[in-house]
Structure 1
């Protein structure tokens, strides 16, 4: 068998397509492996580069494969698509991943640690609960508005509806009062869970050395500091910290380097530089708080 230089893996839940290639790009092997056999197969291979798309479960597999001694490269899916030469299937995707990872100008995603993924789950869980709370509040407002009961805008003022529901002379049907109380109870439950996550974020920020150092920056609190640590790539991957022309800057990653381009094809002036509308945005990562 020809010596393998790079292995491309198309990740899935149960079966994984593996594509091995030599240093010259020639095909060494194509295999389909079950989930339980993937690590055993990679352990039997000489140390080489293993490439995967930066998709679901990629960071977990990246850590496991790196522990075997291989160099792991995670390629953003948007950069893999141009290398697919035929109809999309698992084998074609694995080959495209291996080819994309060999490009000298390719940009890769750093493999996250378990701690970073845990912090990310904490923020996403909090975001989910906040959206559920907003949805429940809007549902309560909408239902009661059908009976002529309207509360002022603002989440804090939703409590004014409690008195209306408890008022026996409100004229609301008994079933409406019962269902309204159910929604209010759900809002209280979500408030308690969100407050608990906020306390956990603040406590973790105080205990972590890097987060505490980030909070010394004016305007950076515990939530923002923890979000940066959870979602931001290594700072060494940025060429500069100021907003200048180019993609590989900190302001570009956080999506605040300028207004979003619109697909019209025209040019506009931004800080003395012409920027085309409709150009594909390279930075799509955001911190959703």
Structure 2
């Protein structure tokens, strides 16, 4: 794989703390532990039930937790990976994000997607619709969020970074080209390289520099030795790890933080 034509970016490490099958006290301790280790961003997710395992297992709501994290942490960025556009009025979501941004002194990343988990929709009374209708709603929602941020008083503390999640080439990547500061996709390095090229093409169509969009992906149970260099070569610099109850094991996170630091030393040296 050849190096992509992107401007050099520092490597960043995110950790998604899955808010299921544990107490909130355990989640709070995990967040403190990962912040102490030096993780760049802490994420949770936006669901109402466990995504896998026992359907009636312990689980906690996304944005309430982010408000608590904003007070309980001091340096790490925080956000949802990702917030479901369907679950909240987009203007309300913009205000919620702006409020957490202020509570955290400017550390919120707004991850957002079209939604996919039918059980969440059915149990909480939202219309599930189709992928087409959910993506159309996401397009409208992103525009409304941007407009609402311009009208709120006080305004956000900074230009809140927007992370758009999803692999769809005709709709999601087109929305990422227009609205995203970060695109979060799925797959191995080869698939990500292809998705990057599609995203770049959408950027060129609207006259946006593809370098403006940070490229993110999830790494689950893979080590830096296994996949780190491949991800670097295709331009993915934001690596998301998964932290699961009951142990919230710090060892894999430490390995990836060491990889980050080694890569970033090289970037500074160059």
Q: Which has the larger radius of gyration?
A: 1
TM-score by length of 1: 0.21
Q: Tell which has more relative contact order, 1 or 2 (C-alpha 8 A, sep 6+).
A: 2
